[in-house]
Amino acid sequence: MTPEPRRDESEFLAKYDPRDYDPVAVTVDVVALTIRDGALHVLLVRRGNAPYEGMWALPGGFVQAGGPLQGTDAEDLPDAAVRELAEETGLSAKGGALGRVHLEQLGTYGSPGRDPRMRVISVAYLAFAPELPDPEAGGDAADAAWAPVDALGLAESGDQRPGTTRRLAFDHARILSDGLERARGKLEYTPLAAAFCGGEFTIPELRSVYEAVWGEELHAGNFHRKVLSVPGFVESTGATSDRGGRRGGPRPRLYRAGDARLLHPALLRPSREEEIR
């Protein structure tokens, strides 16, 4: 349901007064993931203002609500996420590198007190990006960078002891942790690992995406056969990469993303026994 302040629209608008409501702010935060040097990285910005001034945080900001009339300046939530991403990376949203980015809603975080200034409801988005250039700080960020996820000392999924996840502003460590777990799961049953690669990629490159996100080494031979056996996961370009592996080996063939939206059968992570109970 939705607010019931007045009986109908015209009467409502005539008597409209924002002070009738407890004020709430709605923001969008983005967990933008990419692979750099074979390791999973997340886009962070350093805060230029209080609170948490000087700390690293997820990129994000206000949603343009557009006032009660919700005119053309009213902004949809995914658009706000793309805008924040573009502002922080300095890349253009349409057509450019951001056009290849996968974006999905992650969850909404609205506990009282998560922002000391006022009640803030934050809608978090999760983005998978191919390798992008170093970001340039924009807006109210003092700095921006791709940070290796492993170096952040995050708690593992399921481990929610307080104190283990306190290196980011607000509850952003928790949001990032949720985003990472979502990403791990998504690679199992969707072909979204290809969103971390460019337009063309090799099977070993795809495997390194899985290894970076899952934090586990995979058997090269079995992975290769599995990827090719799932209908619609990848399709061959017919071409061959111009270089072999870093320390030797034949030149791998090139593929692009196929037309599947779901992997069937799925590519399940090995050894998840601990997570089951």
Partner DNA sequence: TAAATAGTGTCTTTGAGACACTATTTC
Partner DNA sequence: GAAATAGTGTCTCAAAGACACTATTTA
Among 34-42, 44-52, 212-220, 240-248, the segment contacting a second copy (CB under 8 A): 44-52
How distant is the alpha carbon of residue 100 from its chain centre? Answer: 13
185 binds DNA per the rule CB under 7 A: no
Which value, in Å, is the radius of gyration of the alpha carbons in the chain? 21
Cα separation, 125 vs 108, in Å, equals 9
Contact, 59 vs 43, CB < 8 A? yes
238 binds DNA per the rule CB under 7 A: no
Contact, 213 vs 128, CB < 8 A? no
8 binds a second copy per the rule CB under 8 A: yes
Please provide residue 41's backbone torsions phi and psi, each rounded to the nearest 5 degrees: -125, 155
If residue 211 lies in a helix (H) or strand (E), which one and from where to where? helix 203-214
Nearest by Cα to 80 from 114, 41, 123: 123
From 37, 118, 162, 242, residue interacting with a second copy (rule: CB under 8 A): 118
Among 116-124, 151-159, 187-195, 251-259, the segment contacting DNA (CB under 7 A): 251-259
Which does residue 249 touch among DNA, a second copy, none (CB within 5 to 8 A, set by kind)?
Answer: DNA
251 binds DNA per the rule CB under 7 A: yes
If residue 79 lies in a helix (H) or strand (E), which one and from where to where? helix 77-89
Cα separation, 240 vs 54, in Å, equals 47
Contact, 205 vs 194, CB < 8 A? no
256 binds DNA per the rule CB under 7 A: no
How distant is the alpha carbon of residue 178 from its chain centre? Answer: 10
Site mask for a second copy (CB under 8 A), range 122-141, x = bound? xx----------------x-
Which residue number, 10 or 271, has a Cβ lying nearer to DNA?
271
Residue 213's Cβ-count burial label (10 Å; 0-12, 13-18, 19+) is buried
Interaction residues for DNA, span 112-131 (CB under 7 A) = none
Interaction residues for a second copy, span 64-93 (CB under 8 A) = 64-68, 70, 74-77, 84
From 39, 97, 121, 137, residue interacting with a second copy (rule: CB under 8 A): 121
219 binds DNA per the rule CB under 7 A: yes
Which residue number, 253 or 269, has a Cβ lying nearer to a second copy?
269
Shortest gap between Cβ of 155 and a second copy (angstroms)? 17
Which does residue 161 touch among DNA, a second copy, none (CB within 5 to 8 A, set by kind)?
Answer: none
Residues of this chain that bind DNA (CB under 7 A): 202-204, 219-222, 224-226, 228-229, 243-253, 265-268, 270
